[in-house]
Amino acid sequence: MRLKKTILTLGSLVALSSFMQAADSAEVLFDVKCAMCHSKTRPADMSVVVAPALMGVMRHIKMTYPNKEDAVKFMVDYILEPSKEKAVCMPQKLERFGLMPSQKGNVTQTELEKITSWMFDNFPPEGFRGMGHGNRKGQGK
């Protein structure tokens, strides 16, 4: 009896973890390679922030590249070869944070395709309203 239960538990654990791995590997890559600069949540203390938070980045990416394929292509290229001319984020962000350092050597193109596709699918989170671009319609009085 007990053995059967153990096997069952083990089985579902394995199934669960392989399912989670597929869903999470892109996020894990992001956590390891990007999250030290790009926060996944709204930063609590703006004074320690070194790069725009992920939701803000994706909001601006999607304004320029609403199509996922274009957005992923743009981001993979930008992350390996950033430049002021290519950047879609607000000019004051570039001024404040400086240009993103190229992540060449830190992340591969294949990893980037995974990461940026996950970013596109999950950010900005539903209901997110940015602070820029006069997007506060209906909020406050």
Under rule CB under 6 A, residue 71 binds ligand HEC: no
Looking at 24, 25, 43, 97, which residue binds ligand HEC (CB under 6 A)?
A: 97
- DSSP assignment of 62-99 equals HHH--SHHHHHHHHHHHHHS--TTT--S-HHHHHHH-P
Under rule CB under 6 A, residue 76 binds ligand HEC: no
The label of the residue with tokens 């995974």 reads 114
Q: Between residues 99 and 131, which has the closer beta carbon with respect to ligand HEC? A: 99
- The answer to whether 99 and 120 are in contact (CB under 8 A) is no
Question: Would you call 60 helix, strand, or coil by DSSP?
Answer: helix
- The answer to whether 89 and 74 are in contact (CB under 8 A) is no
Q: Between residues 82 and 130, which has the closer beta carbon with respect to ligand HEC? A: 82
d(CA 136, CA 79): 30
- Among 106, 93, 90, smallest CA distance to 51 is for 93
User: Residue number with the shortest CB distance to ligand HEC?
Assistant: 34
Under rule CB under 6 A, residue 7 binds ligand HEC: no
Over the window 99 to 128, marking each residue x when it contacts ligand HEC by CB under 6 A and - when it does not, the resulting string is: xxx-x---x-------xx------------
Binding residues for ligand HEC, rule: CB under 6 A, are 33-34, 36-38, 50-52, 57, 61, 75, 78-79, 82, 87-89, 93-94, 97-101, 103, 107, 115-116
